[in-house]
Structure 1
Amino acid sequence: MRISTKLGLGLALTSAVILGSHGYRQLQREEADLRGASEHESRLLGVALQVAVENALRDGQSADVREMLESLELRDPSVDVLVFDARGGLKVHSWGGTQARLLVESDIHEVMASSRVVSRFEGPEGLSHLSVVLPLRGDDGAPLGALAVVKPLDGLRQDLQATRLSALLSVLMLIAGISLVGWLLVLLYIQRPLARVAGAMRTVRGGDFSATVQPYQRDEVGELTQAFNAMMKELAEARGRLDAEVETRIALETGLRRVDKLATLGQLSAGLAHEIGSPLLILGGRAQALAARTELPEDVRRNAGILVEQSERITRTVRQLLELTRRRPTRMETLDVLVPVRAVVELLELDARKRGVRLALDSEASLPAVLADADGVQQVALNLLTNALRATPRGGTVRVSLARGAFRLAPALREREGVRLVVVDTGVGIDADCQSRIFEPFFSTWPEQGGTGLGLAVVKAIVAEHGGAVSVASRVGAGSEFTVHLPVADDDSRGEVAA
């Protein structure tokens, strides 16, 4: 049950008890006042009749008494007057007085004996008739009889019923009004603010620590809201520090692993370059000389050409190894990533036309600037586009697109703003097993076509140096999609490395 409903019911019950008690006391007082007024009126009438009847009886004018009662009957037929003699016998009465005799018979002898006035309310709840019995005395004080005045209380009963109904309706309206106002106040100033706080808590439970509640009130609920906002600010700061520590740790661990791999690979590459470089240079030169001698047999010249081609391939492999392990220091600058990417696309347009492949570039307007090395971005675009053109058959399409895009270096880390470079081809695609190893050094999907397996490793190394991320999505026979994210220039998490 909601708090507004509980408080509304509580107010209704409390109001019912208080107003009901007050209304009951008011009705009791009202009834007492009405009874008193009616009794007072009847007593006054009785006293007036008592004086007149006593005078007539002392003078022996019973006819005057009868005439007086008939006159009263004409003026107020509802009032019955009865005159009893000293023995208690009914002497004179108004019309209908014989029926009222039953109401006062028990009081006649008491009144004549005690000489005091007796008033009595008769019927259910004492609201049927009011009887007033007065003694009749002679000049010497001897009892002459008694006078009874009987008045019906229909008007009093109707007045009391109307008063009770009015009081009941007033109490019910007050209870309803107080309950409604209390319910609305609780709804506006307690339930809705608490509902906003609860909604913010659910948002926080979902992982969003930026949720706050606007404090609209300057009371205890407003203080609660301000305390909640202060707590959320502290939690968000603590979460930010924790995320930064986690990102730093992941970056450090990943960087250490990468440095260890590159150190080992660097030693291997340096040894290969030293041990192979000079002999390979001599071998290539001799092969070129043999291939240039026209007097030699055709098969000798053809084999010499193969030696030259393979020597150049080995030289390229060694050079790529050295580029991977001993890259020059990057020169970070704020740049529009579209400029170096467009330069690479224009460079490869001729090669794409020779292969019969359509090469397209799409870019969003007003891309945010990135802090990057222009040569490194060009190298990334060149390696990705070269691989895409090589994998796409004649008649296919390679599409390059640039757009805004958020990314995470790891699922548990916070989301960062960046620029997304996507290279999509309609080539042969890559199976799932190869996708898991595609960025490993020396892993190639076309070794028989001369692939060294270093191009994508270089891409990942450059992107990692920029604090970005690279991923691949592909399906055999449906082409591949390589996505590179580079953080924007004003990102405050520079220097992190993707795992």
Structure 2
Amino acid sequence: MKLARKLVFALVLLAFVVIAGLETVEVRRELARSAQDMQHDHRLLGHTLGGSFVRAWELEGEEQALTLLSQANRFQEQVQLRWRWLDSPEVATLLPEQRAELLAGRDISFVDERPLPGVLRSFTPVSLGSRQGLIEIAEPLTEQHLHLRQTVVGAAVATGAIFLAFLVVAMAMGRRLVGRPVEQLVGLAQRIGQGDLEARVHLRQQDELTTLADAMNQMAGGLAAARAQVTAETAARLATLEHLRHADRLGTVGKLASGVAHELGTPLNVVLGRAKMIASGEAEGDETQESALIITQQVQHMTGIIRQLLDFARRRTPQRAPEDLAELVARTLKLLHPMATRRGIILASEAEGPLLLEVDGGQIQQALTNLVVNGIHAMKRPGTLRVRLGRARALPPVELGGPEAEWVRVDVVDEGEGISPETLPRVFEPFFTTKDVGEGTGLGLSVSYGLIRDHGGWISVSSEPGRGSCFSIFLPPEARGPQEAEA
């Protein structure tokens, strides 16, 4: 039930109770007055007839006195007059206290309910010498009950009319003062809940609901300002994060440059040699065509290496698309092959087969590159760095939430010196690094974790000093963002 209807119902019920109570009191008061009037009339009639009855008895005898009562009955339609001796059997049926009143010479009146609808009986003492008599006055209560019924019906009709009038007025006022303003406030709350922070409501009344409306308007204004501030701060944070990621990418490109330069050395030597042969005339006929073909192949090979490096370094907005992770791992290891070869490290890939996910391939490659480069730097002597790709059941970390489920897992396992237990909890902190000055910025692992987190996954690490480390990337099998993963 709506608030306005509750208030109207409560007020109308209260009004009905008050009016009904007042009418009940008025009806009882009217009945009491009517009873008092009837008793008073009986008393006057009894005393008047009593004096006449005594004089007639004394002057003309008993028969003439009784005739006087009989003649008086003919003039009374409702009232019946009778003569009773105080010691008669009829009077003996009265209550002891009533007989005591009569013996003391006082009038009595009472309602005899044996004949319906009841009779008002009054007794007036009359002294005839040494003997005591009574004039009995009996009047049926038919007219009184009829008057009572008419009074009750009139009171009920008046109460009903007042009740209906009050109900109509209360409903109209409740609708205007409570119902409509509350509906406007509910509509405002719904619009704010739906994101319309420009919504406002203005009430044309001065009460608590107006105060509430003003407070809600101020709240909407505050939320709009807060949303604008959050939007601006989020945009700034994303821009800063993208700058950090791009800086980390360029740092990795710098590390790859020397390896790429070495990788370009052999094709350049081949191109230079074949070009000299053509220029000096050593290559003739079919050899000239063969040399040109070899030069073309080597240039295409070098162009592919340079394009791969540029694609890795180029800044671009995140863009999800179906990506085979097995192919992405192979492409990443090929890019890092020159860097690993200079350190005598073998890069090995272990994949169960093609694994298609809808991800941002460039971001995943950047995260994977950071982990592999980190593993290469951790290996101070020749060895094998393995990248394993498959599926595994895992329980997400507390900050991500959710039940244990199946995830796509990418393990980067190195044979380096490992990470000490006191350092392990801090490896993903921005700008935290254990490398020598000039070898790292401390952003690689932090950026990688952020990239994977944006895809609804996470990175875990396990390490044993002296035996190497394992960084594990967990990605959801379906395309999900961080908000969906947390939900």
TM-score of the pair, normalised by structure 1: 0.48
With the length of structure 2 as denominator, give the TM-score of the two structures: 0.49
